[in-house]
Amino acid sequence: MSVQRLLASDFDGTLCRSFQQITDRDRKAVRSFIQDHVFGIVSGRDPRSLQAACRQLQIPYHFLITYGGGAAFDAEGNMLFQHTLSDDLRDMIDVLCARASLLVAVYGRDRVWMQINGHEEMCDRYVQTIRSLYPLVDHPSDIDAICIISAECQNAQEAEQLAAFIANRYPQAQTAVNRNSIDMSAKGVNKATALAAVARHFHIDPSQVAAIGDGRNDLCLLEHFYGFAIRGDQVLEAAARHTVDDIAEAIAILHDRSTRNADTDNRRTVWK
More confident residue, 258 or 165: 165
CB half-sphere exposure, 54, CA atoms < 13 A: 28
Taking 50 as the threshold, does the pLDDT of residue 131 lie above it? yes
pLDDT at 262: 53
CB half-sphere exposure, 10, CA atoms < 13 A: 27
Strand order of the β-sheet with 6-9 is: 79-82, 71-74, 63-66, 38-42, 6-9, 209-213, 226-230, 242-244
Taking 80 as the threshold, does the pLDDT of residue 80 lie above it? yes
Percentage, residues of the chain above pLDDT 90: 81
Taking 90 as the threshold, does the pLDDT of residue 179 lie above it? no
Mean pLDDT, the chain, integer: 91
CA 69/CA 80 separation, integer angstroms: 11
What is the model's pTM? 0.91
Q: Which residues are within 8 A (CB) of 101 and not within 5 positions of it... i.e. 6 or more apart?
A: 117, 118, 152, 153, 154, 158
pLDDT at 267: 37
pLDDT at 19: 67
Which of 132, 67, 77, 53 is closest to 106 using CA atoms? 67
What angle, rounded to 10 degrees, do the helices at 121-133 and 47-57 form? 100
- Strand 226-230 relative to strand 181-186, pairing: unpaired
pLDDT at 2: 59
Q: What domains can you pick out in the chain, each with its CATH number?
A: 6-82+190-268 (3.40.50.1000), 87-186 (3.30.1240.10)
Q: Which residues are within 8 A (CB) of 196 and not within 5 positions of it... i.e. 6 or more apart?
A: 206, 209, 224
| Predicted confidence (pLDDT) per residue in 42-62, tens digit | 999 999 999 999 999 999 999
CA 226/CA 238 separation, integer angstroms: 13
Mean pLDDT of 64-79: 96
| Predicted confidence (pLDDT) per residue in 187-241, tens digit | 999 999 999 999 999 999 999 999 999 999 999 999 999 999 999 999 999 999 9
pLDDT at 250: 98
pLDDT at 271: 60
Percentage, residues of the chain above pLDDT 70: 94
Taking 90 as the threshold, does the pLDDT of residue 128 lie above it? yes
At 102, the pLDDT band (50, 70, 90 cuts) reads very high
Q: Which residues are within 8 A (CB) of 199 and not within 5 positions of it... i.e. 6 or more apart?
A: 6, 205, 206, 208, 209
Taking 70 as the threshold, does the pLDDT of residue 268 lie above it? no
At 17, the pLDDT band (50, 70, 90 cuts) reads confident
